[in-house]
Structure 1
C-alpha cells in the first residue's frame, strides 16, 4: 500500500509554493534562513518549471533543482515535488499546436497562460510521461522528498476540449461505457428531435448548436472530460509509484463549490494517496469563514474522514477577484486553524515569496513585497510557532454531527439549459443548508447519495436533481432504521442519464417522503410566498413552489398565497423508526432554521444555543487524545462551555467550566479522559 502521509514529516505541514526560479540564486540562502525563522516544515517546488527543466526536446537541466533540493534538505525542510505538466513549454506547442484545447464554439486557445491542455492529445501524454519519468528517476530517493505533486489544480481553467482528437477519444469512451450505439441512443433519449445515431462514428462532442443540444450527451461529455484528466493523473502517478516507491502521490484539489465545478472529487479521492486541497476566500460580502468550513468539511469527506492537507491558501488578499481586500489582523491564523480543526494536517500557502512579475504579482505571500518588517510576516512567524505546538494532533480525526448529500454529476446535470427556473441554483441551496447547520454549531460530513449513512442522526439533501433508484432506496432504508432526513425541492427528479423517473415527481424520493408532486410552479423574479403553520412561525419563500400531494406525509407548513395556496409547503413523513422532511420552496435563513429545529428534535440532537454565533467549536479525536478547537470569528470576547476539563495546548493553562475565547482568537484544548 502506498504511504498516505508526507515521508519524513514529523510535525504539521507549514510552508508554501516555493518558486526559486523566479529569483537570483543569491536570494535562496536568504529564503531558507527565513523559512527556519518562520518554522517552515515543507514547501512545494517545481510545479511550473517544465520549460526550465527541459529547455529543448529531450535536453534536461536539473542542476538548479539539484541545488534547491539539497539546500532545503540541509536546512531540514521537506519537499512536495511537482511534476510540471500543467504548463508544457513553448517549444512543445510549436511542435504540437493541436495540443492546445478547442472550445465548443470551435476556437483554439493560444499559449501564454496555464492549463491550456487537450488531455486527449497523444503528444502531450507522451511528453508528460517523459518529464515525469526523468524527475522520478533523478529525485525518487532524494532525502528531502516528502511527496509528489502531480500537475496543478486539474480542471482549472480548462477541463473539456472539443477538438477532433477528443471526438475520437469520446467515441472510444462511449464504446467502453455503453458497449453498443443502441445503448447510447437509449441512454441519451435520441428519439427526441430525431437525434438517433447509426454508429459511433456519427457521434461528436456537444459542440455549438443552433439551439439547446442533447442534455444527456452534454452530461456524459462532462463525465468524459473528467475521466480523461484522471487518466493522465493516473498515468503520472503510476510512473511515480514504480520509480519512487514509498513516497505518496497527490494532486491539489479545489473542492470549494464556487471554485471548481468540473471534477468529480468523490472519484478522484480514491486515486490519490493523500487528499490535498487549495482554498481561497470568496470576498463577496458573505461570511467567508462559513464557506471555508464547508470546503474543509467537503475535503475531509472526499478523504473518507481521514486526515488531509491544505496545500494552498492565502496569507492575505488574492489578485483575481473584482475586489481583493486584505485579511484582517489575526484572520490568517483563524483561517488556517479552522482548516486544521476540520481535519487538515497543516496549512500551506501560495506562495512563499511574493512575485515581482507575472499575473499573480499582487497575490499575497508569506514573504510580501514589503519584506519581513510587515504585519503579514510577523503573523506568518507566529502561525508557524502555533502549528509547531499543535503537532501532537497529527493523525486525529474530526468528529461530525450530521451529513449532507452532494454529487457532482447531479450538479452538472442541474446546470444544463432549459430547467424550470434559472433562479434555482443547486450550489446556493447547498450553501444555504450548510450555513443553517453551521449556525446550529453542527459539524458536517458530506456523503455520496448511495453511501452508508447509519452513523448520522440527521442527513440533509439540499439539491440532488439527479438521483439513482439505488440512492432513493438507500435513503428509505436510512429513515426506516431511525434516521432523520431533510430534502429540499427539485431533488430525485432524474436518473443518471438525465431521464425523468417514471411516475410522479419526485421519482426516486416518492416513497421515503410519502408524497407526490403534481407540478412545479417556479416563481417570477421578486415574487414571494408566505407559509403558515398551526403551531409554528410564518415563513417566507421565493424562487420555487410546487403542487404537493401527501401520500402518507403530514402537512407542517401550508402555502398561504400564490398558485399553491392551501396546499402543503413543508411536510413530515413518519416511516419505520425515522422521519423524512420535505421543503418545497426556497426558504431563507430563518425558515431553514425553523425546519431544521424541528428535524433536529426528531434526530434527538440537543440544541447548542449557549454557543455564540460565529464561534466555531469542532473536535478532533485519536490515539493522542481528544481536542476541542474553539475559533472566535467575532469582534467580541466569547465563552464556550466545556463538558470535560482539559489543558489549552497553546498556553498550557488549565481549562474547565467555561473557556474564554477572546475576540478573533483560537483556543485548542486537550480534553481530560
Structure 2
C-alpha cells in the first residue's frame, strides 16, 4: 500500500502486488506466561490478524537496570510473530520510564502548574524537555534499532505512545529554560516579547530573558498570550521529542517507516497535529468512540479529520476498542454491530489498518476492565467472534479497497488548533465557547443534509471546494484572512460564525471593530458581543433560536442579505444570520449564534443550494445514512461506504453499485441498524481537487 511520492507506509512481509488491510492490536506478551503465547498465535490466525504493536510499555523489561539489557524475550516474540505471518509495528518503549531511572534522576519527573511533582505509579511521568530523559530514551531507541532494524517481522517503528496524553504541560525548570529558548526563536528580543505579550498591562514588562517563566499558578488571570504561547511551546516540545527519536531510527534504519499514534478525538487536542503530520512517514491515530447519541458522528468527524491530516492518503488506526473502555465514569459495552461499524467508519475515511487496544484483556493493572480482542471470557465470546468476522471482511470482502485514497468532497469543515486553544482559556466574554463542539455541529449538519464534507486543518488547501465552513475561527492572522478573501473572490462560498476574526496570532484584538479582517468580506460590523447565559436562548424570526452567543450587528454593505434576525430582547430586529454575495460568484455568510441541529441543517441547505453543492444521496436516505467514498483516483472505480446513522433498518434503494460486503451491514438491499455496507461503483471522476 505505497503512498505516492514516498516510501511504503508499511513494510509488509508479503507479495507487494497483493492488497491487504492491516488488522490487529497492541500485543503485550510480557504480561502473560510463556505458555499463553502459543495460544495467542493460534487465535491471531483465526481472527485474521496481520499486524500487532509490540513493546509499548516494556522499557523496564528491556533494560531492567542501567547496566543490563534483556532482549531475549523480545527476540523470541519477534521470531514467533514472523513465523506466524504476523508483522510488527515495534514501539520504541519510551512512553514510561522505569523505576531505576526516576529513582536515580528524579529531575526527569514533570511538575504541575502549582509546583507539585508528578510521581511514578502510572505512566508518562517524564518531562518532554528533560535532557536527562532524552539521553536515556535515545539510548533505548538506538539499541532497539540496531537489534531489530533488519528483522523480517518489522513493518514500522512506533515512536513512544500517545505523546502528551498525560504529560503535555510541564512547568519545571527544564521547561522554563526551554520555553525561553523557544520564545527567543519566535520573537528575537525581549522587546519583541514585550510587544507580543502586551506586558505594559499589569506591569508585566520584562527586562531579561531569565525573568520569563511558564504560566505557573498566579494571583489572577495569567497573561493570555503567555498562556497561548506556552501551549504552542508544549506542543512543539513533544514534537521535538518525536523528531529526536525519529532521527535515530532513520539514521540506523532508513528504509523502515516511522509513525506515532495521534489522539484525534474531536479536534481540539493539546497537540497541534496539523504541525505534527509532516513529521511522520504515515499518520496514525487512536480513537475511542463516545457512547450515546452522536457518538458515531463524532467518530466520523475524527476519522475524517485524520484523513485530512494525512492529505487524503491511507492512514493507520492504531487503537480503538472492541467494546467498553475503562476510564469513563460509566463504561457501557458496545451494542451489536458497533464493533464493525466503528472500525469500518475509520476505513471509510481512509484507514488502511484497523487495530485495537489490546489483543488479550489484561488480568491485572489499571486497564484490566478495558475490552480486547480476546476478552476475559475467552475466544468463545461474542466479542472475539465479532472481531474474527471483521478480520474476514477486511481480508476477503474489502481487500480491493486497501491502498485507495479517499475521494475529496465538494464541501469542507475547517478546524484550527490555535483558535480551539484560545477560546478554552480564562478571561473571555463567555466560558461556554467550544470550538470542537461548533465544528462537530456543522459536520453533523452536513450528515443531516446528506452531503459529504471533508474535515481539514486551517492550513490545508481549499481549492475545488464549493462550500467551506470555518466556525469559531477566533485566532485569525492576516495571512489566513487573505486566504479566505482569495477563496471567496475566486468563487468559493464561505460560512463562518460568532467570535471569529477577533484576534491576531499574538492574541491582540484586530483594530476597527469585530470581526477584524472579515468585516469587509462579510459586509458587517459587530459592535458588541452579547454572550448568552447557560440555559438562555435568543429567538430568531425564522422560528429558530440560538444559544451560547449573540452579536450586536450593523450591516455595512447593501450587498449583505439578512437571512434571519433576532426576534426579541435588546437585539430585536438586528441581523443574526447574513450572507454577502461578491463579484465573481462567491459569497461569505456569518452565523452569530449557536443554532439547534434542525435549524442549522435547514440553514446549511439554503447555503449549499446557493453554492451549487448538492447531496449525493437520494432524498429518503439523507440524514439517515452517511456516505464516504474511496477510489482509485483515476475515475475507474469508487467504493461507497454507507453507514446507518439510525437504530432502524434502512432500505438502500436508488443507489448504484455492487455490494462488497454481506454480514458487515447490507443484506438484500437493507442496511442493518448500526450497520455499514460497501459498494463498488463505476467511477465518475467527481469531487474536489
Rounded to whole Å, the distance in 1 between the matches of 2:438 and 2:457 is: 17
Return the TM-score normalized by structure 1: 0.96
Question: Of 555, 566, 574, which aligns to 2:581?
Answer: 574
Equivalent in the alignment of 1:498: 507
Equivalent in the alignment of 1:543: 548
**How large is the Cα RMSD of the aligned pairs?**
1.8
Change (3 A) 1:617 1:445: closer
Rounded to whole Å, the distance in 2 between the matches of 1:591 and 1:4 is: 46
Q: For residue 332 of structure 1, report the CA deviation from its aligned partner.
A: 0.2
Q: For residue 625 of structure 1, report the CA deviation from its aligned partner.
A: 2.6
Equivalent in the alignment of 1:6: 10
Aligned pairs for 1:193-342 (under 5 A) are: 193-257=202-266, 261-283=269-291, 285-342=292-349
Rounded to whole Å, the distance in 2 between the matches of 1:563 and 1:172 is: 50
- Asked if the contact 2:475/2:505 (under 8 Å) is kept, the reply is yes
Equivalent in the alignment of 2:687: none
- Asked if the contact 1:152/1:252 (under 8 Å) is kept, the reply is yes
Secondary structure of the structure 1 residue equivalent to 2:620: coil
Secondary structure of the structure 2 residue equivalent to 1:563: helix
Question: Of 469, 475, 479, which aligns to 2:484?
Answer: 475
1:415 paired with 2:424, answer yes
Equivalent in the alignment of 2:536: 527
Rounded to whole Å, the distance in 1 between the matches of 2:509 and 2:652 is: 48
Change (3 A) 1:286 1:568: same
Rounded to whole Å, the distance in 2 between the matches of 1:586 and 1:59 is: 59
Equivalent in the alignment of 1:48: 57
Rounded to whole Å, the distance in 2 between the matches of 1:635 and 1:431 is: 21
Secondary structure of the structure 1 residue equivalent to 2:499: coil
Question: Of 519, 536, 539, which aligns to 1:510?
Answer: 519
Aligned pairs for 1:86-97 (under 5 A) are: 86-97=95-106
1:667 paired with 2:674, answer no
1:363 paired with 2:373, answer no
Q: For residue 641 of structure 1, report the CA deviation from its aligned partner.
A: 4.6
Question: Of 649, 658, 661, which aligns to 1:637?
Answer: 649
1:485 paired with 2:494, answer yes
Question: Of 189, 199, 204, which aligns to 1:190?
Answer: 199
The superposition leaves residues 574-622 of structure 1 with CA deviations (integer Å, 9 ceiling, x where unpaired) of: 1121111111111111221121111101111224432153422211111
The superposition leaves residues 372-427 of structure 1 with CA deviations (integer Å, 9 ceiling, x where unpaired) of: 11110110110000010212112212222311111111111111111101122222
Equivalent in the alignment of 2:109: 100
The superposition leaves residues 474-527 of structure 1 with CA deviations (integer Å, 9 ceiling, x where unpaired) of: 111111111111111000100111110111100121121111100001123322
Question: Of 606, 609, 620, which aligns to 1:610?
Answer: 620
- Asked if the contact 1:642/1:659 (under 8 Å) is kept, the reply is no
Equivalent in the alignment of 1:462: 471
Question: How many residues matched?
Answer: 664
Q: For residue 447 of structure 1, report the CA deviation from its aligned partner.
A: 2.6
Gaps of 5+ in 1: none
Equivalent in the alignment of 1:650: 661
- Asked if the contact 1:476/1:511 (under 8 Å) is kept, the reply is no
Secondary structure of the structure 2 residue equivalent to 1:153: coil
Secondary structure of the structure 2 residue equivalent to 1:547: strand
Gaps of 5+ in 2: 14-18, 684-689
Equivalent in the alignment of 2:640: 628
Equivalent in the alignment of 1:65: 74
Rounded to whole Å, the distance in 2 between the matches of 1:63 and 1:233 is: 27
Return the TM-score normalized by structure 2: 0.94
Secondary structure of the structure 1 residue equivalent to 2:65: coil
Rounded to whole Å, the distance in 2 between the matches of 1:244 and 1:524 is: 57
Rounded to whole Å, the distance in 2 between the matches of 1:19 and 1:448 is: 34
The superposition leaves residues 12-64 of structure 1 with CA deviations (integer Å, 9 ceiling, x where unpaired) of: 01100000000001110110000001100000000000000000114110000
Q: For residue 659 of structure 1, report the CA deviation from its aligned partner.
A: 4.3
The superposition leaves residues 460-480 of structure 1 with CA deviations (integer Å, 9 ceiling, x where unpaired) of: 012111111111111111111
Q: For residue 329 of structure 1, report the CA deviation from its aligned partner.
A: 1.2
- Asked if the contact 1:346/1:387 (under 8 Å) is kept, the reply is no
Rounded to whole Å, the distance in 2 between the matches of 1:605 and 1:640 is: 23
1:593 paired with 2:598, answer no
- Asked if the contact 2:449/2:622 (under 8 Å) is kept, the reply is no
Rounded to whole Å, the distance in 2 between the matches of 1:219 and 1:641 is: 51
Deviates more, 1:407-416 or 1:313-322: 407-416
Question: Of 337, 344, 347, which aligns to 2:354?
Answer: 347
Change (3 A) 1:190 1:621: same
Secondary structure of the structure 2 residue equivalent to 1:269: helix
- Asked if the contact 2:307/2:350 (under 8 Å) is kept, the reply is yes
Equivalent in the alignment of 1:559: 566
Rounded to whole Å, the distance in 1 between the matches of 2:460 and 2:40 is: 46
Deviates more, 1:83-92 or 1:7-16: 7-16
Secondary structure of the structure 2 residue equivalent to 1:434: helix
Q: For residue 643 of structure 1, report the CA deviation from its aligned partner.
A: 5.3
- Asked if the contact 2:561/2:578 (under 8 Å) is kept, the reply is yes
Rounded to whole Å, the distance in 2 between the matches of 1:405 and 1:2 is: 26
Rounded to whole Å, the distance in 2 between the matches of 1:579 and 1:142 is: 56
Secondary structure of the structure 1 residue equivalent to 2:278: coil
Rounded to whole Å, the distance in 2 between the matches of 1:331 and 1:135 is: 37
Secondary structure of the structure 2 residue equivalent to 1:398: coil
